[in-house]
């Protein structure tokens, strides 16, 4: 599966380069579809990798802020297209957490793209707050978008669950948050969600100072 996905990414990269400097409306639409395809391929790849994730966890001390900035830079077109922009809030640019960088990048990507998608047309900013405490580090991603209906909140991490928002926005596969939850648990990063319909959603990721990251 890994080989197939990487083979698919090569022609995709060529197509992206071909549309790089073209500004016509048709090219913009093509860029959007190519971005969606790349995201879908990434989802397929990580779904396959999840089965053997325990053997592929390599924990190290990782600076959190550069990782957040890298994810934001990677998806800047997505932010621009939705007219929603990230605001990073922290009092310490050198926050370090114990994690597996590649898996955390996937988690951050899913949470940030969701925050942007469900803010579009309602708010133009999402807050990314990093806080250090005596118990560890807390990463909070807060949007001011549509919020999640109470009936859906207990199921948002269920496999293939799209909920009311997923049906409205038509881009949800029901896999992004499921994979995020599964990966977070395997990395022993606690994830919590709180939301008010019509006001927005806050997702918090906890990195403890004494994490036991032995493969599960």
Q: Average pLDDT for residues 210-214, to the nearest whole number?
A: 47
**pLDDT score of 25:** 62
Q: What is the distance between the alpha carbons of residues 106 and 42, in angstroms, rounded to a whole number?
A: 9
**pLDDT score of 37:** 73
The residue extents of the domains of the chain are 1-51, 58-208
**pLDDT score of 215:** 40
**pLDDT score of 95:** 94
CATH of region 58-208, choose from 3.30.565.10, 3.90.550.10, 3.40.50.1010, 3.40.50.300: 3.30.565.10
- Summary mean pLDDT of the chain: 83
Burial 186-199 (b: 16+ CB within 10 A, else e): bbbbebebebebee
Give the C-alpha distances (Å, rounded to integers) separating 58 from 102, 104, 108, 148. 9, 11, 17, 34
Q: What string of H, E and C letters represents the secondary structure of 36-88? A: HHHHHHHHHHHHHHHCCHHHHCCCEEEEHHHHHHHHHHHCHHHHHHHCCEEEE
**Whole-prediction pTM value?**
0.80
pLDDT digits (tens, 9 = 90+) for 131-148: 998 889 999 999 999 999
Q: What string of H, E and C letters represents the secondary structure of the chain? A: CHHHHHHHHHHHHHHHHHCCCCCCHHHHHHHHHHHHHHHHHHHHHHHHHHCCHHHHCCCEEEEHHHHHHHHHHHCHHHHHHHCCEEEEEECCCCCEEEECHHHHHHHHHHHHHHHHHCCCCCCCEEEEEEEEECCEEEEEEEECCCCCCHHHHCCCCCCCCCHHHHHHHCCCCCCHHHHHHHHHHHCCCEEEEEEECCCEEEEEEEEECCCCCCCC
pLDDT digits (tens, 9 = 90+) for 180-208: 999 999 999 999 999 999 999 999 999 98
Looking at the predicted structure, is the pLDDT value of residue 212 above 70?
no
215 vs 56, residue with greater confidence: 56
Find the largest Cα–Cα distance for the chain: 52
pLDDT digits (tens, 9 = 90+) for 55-78: 778 899 999 999 999 999 999 988
């Amino acid at each position: 599966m890994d080989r197939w996905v990487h083979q698919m990414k090569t022609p995709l990269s060529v197509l992206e380069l071909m549309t790089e400097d073209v500004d016509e409306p048709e090219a913009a639409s093509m860029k959007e579809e190519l971005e969606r395809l790349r995201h879908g391929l990434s989802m397929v790849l990580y779904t396959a990798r999840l089965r053997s994730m325990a053997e592929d966890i390599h924990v190290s001390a990782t600076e959190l802020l550069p990782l957040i900035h890298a994810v934001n830079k990677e998806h800047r077109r997505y932010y621009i297209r939705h007219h929603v922009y990230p605001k990073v809030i922290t009092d310490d640019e050198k926050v370090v957490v114990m994690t597996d960088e590649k898996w955390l990048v996937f988690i951050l990507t899913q949470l940030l793209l969701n925050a942007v998608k469900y803010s579009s047309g309602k708010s133009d900013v999402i807050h990314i707050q990093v806080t250090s405490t005596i118990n560890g580090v807390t990463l909070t991603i807060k949007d001011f978008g549509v919020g999640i209906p109470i009936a859906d909140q207990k199921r948002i991490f269920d496999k293939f669950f799209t909920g009311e928002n997923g049906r409205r926005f038509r881009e949800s596969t029901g896999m992004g948050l499921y994979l995020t939850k599964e990966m977070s648990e395997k990395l022993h990063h606690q994830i919590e969600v709180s939301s008010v319909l019509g006001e927005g959603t806050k997702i918090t990721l906890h990195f403890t100072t004494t994490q036991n990251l032995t493969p599960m």
